[in-house]
Chains A and B, each alone.
Chain A
């Protein structure tokens, strides 16, 4: 299914949609594992000042019933929330320091659904 563009008020974030408007935890995790910290920081820095306005717009809506441009916006916001920690915790990369092969982790149920 084609991803709808963002609402007009958030056109400044449109360039992030193809990489970061992701549908579930599993996909967001895999994206994080394949992203350089510098690139994540660009997304984080663009989203942080806009997140309050996005939440205000989306809050009246049921997250499971969103469609079209609001669904795209919701996915961008959720990806931001689920990928912020390496920046906020001052990590040296997008992955944890003590790790085994990150691709071995399997995602099920809600972690593969939203």
Chain B
């Protein structure tokens, strides 16, 4: 017998265990420095965190340096000469200098600019200058410090725990086998970042419900969802999993394309905010794409707890990171991918998509600092969440559970 409250009528098909979800959430306690530190230890040190894409490092020796702000870590993610993807702290094992200063590249190894100690792409210490002056030095004790690394689909995940409690497959749960190459044939078409003065919860919460789209996005997306049969833009499908949550959005069949939108999407293959007519079951769509098999499907939004949001349409996807810097600041990074362009027409479609998408993203950002500033007054501790905002309820339930469990 479930403890979950009865659901109000809507078109939404809900899936998953709702018994631990709460519609009232205390945000005031979560913006306190001590609470934030407990989240770093209990959540960020224990979770599998996506940090980059294998598409960034396709060749042996390719590397990218990524920052993980909540852990104050700079990582070198590198494809070794053995073709395996690994992540290491970007720290020279001699005097702890930052080892690699380039953001990306292809190298056979890494040499510290300070005293030229060198390491290969598998993290082994391979060269110590003036080595006889280090009597008794055991090279094996000074390899680069690794971080647990696993690859899923095109995503590279890391885990900072000494011994992760879950494998990545366990952490992803039913999503693990759900995409089957869906992200493979894509290229990066946009990449933005912004640091905002708001707590990380507040920032990610802006992207995991569709309730606001009718209002906040009224000028940027006047008619892409909803329509006369779904005026409040209820989600047709919403699912809470063990750690994560996802929902699908329905396209508005009466969406009006503007002249330039039509121009771009006649020249190239259509992208958001125009959606191809997707019927219930598209052959070749893996199980996690339109997981509820809803008619007239537009896109899915998936929160990978704690701080990553994946938005995917039929032929594009968006990766969003909400990295806490401290309890008051968050670094948001967004990378858009779309089908690989085949000439000018597709390039125009990419251009139109990324700009519409960017302006919607900027509207979402607009609420964050205001919310955070309001919370800082201390007069309002709790927010109240509707059943259309159930992914937020799930986010806070998982966060609370991990903080209670401790590091």
**What's the nearest-Cβ distance from chain B to residue A90, in Å?**
8
Which residues of A are found within 8 Å of B216, using beta-carbon distances? 98
Contact of A89 among B219, B335, B369 (CB under 8 A): B219
**Quick one: given A62-B343, A88-B261, A100-B366, are A109 and B219 in contact (CB under 8 Å)?**
no
For B335, list chain A residues within 8 Å (CB).
Answer: 109
Q: Which residue of B lies closest to A79 (CB)?
A: B351
User: Can you list, as one digit per residue, whether each of A78-114 has a CB less than 8 Å from chain B (1) or not (0)?
Assistant: 1011111100110100001111101011111111101
Contacts of B363 in A (CB 8 A): 96-99
Pairwise interchain contact A106-B192, C-beta atoms closer than 8 A:
yes
CB pair B366–A98 under 8 Å, yes or no, is yes
Report the minimum CB–CB distance from A72 to chain B (whole Å): 15
Question: In which size bucket is the chain A interface?
Answer: 35 or more
B264 touches A81 (CB 8 A): yes
Stretch in contact with the other chain, from B23-31, B281-289, B301-309, B352-360: B352-360
In chain B, residues 107-144, which have Cβ atoms closer than 8 Å to a Cβ of chain A?
none
Distance between B338 CB and nearest chain A CB, rounded to angstroms: 10
B147 within 8 A of A: no
Q: Give the docked Cα–Cα distance between A86 and B130 (Å).
A: 63
List B residues 261-275 near A (Cβ within 8 Å).
Answer: 261, 263-264, 267
Contact with B along A29-64 (1 / 0, CB 8 A): 100000000000000000010011001001101110
Closest A residue to B221 by CB, please name it: A89
Interface residues of B in 323-375 (CB under 8 A from A): 335, 341, 343-345, 347-348, 351-352, 354-356, 358-359, 362-363, 365-367, 369
Residues of A at the B interface (CB closer than 8 Å) are 25, 29, 48, 51-52, 55, 58-59, 61-63, 74, 77-78, 80-85, 88-89, 91, 96-100, 102, 104-112, 114
A-binding residues in B (CB < 8 A): 188-196, 216, 219-220, 222, 258-261, 263-264, 267, 335, 341, 343-345, 347-348, 351-352, 354-356, 358-359, 362-363, 365-367, 369
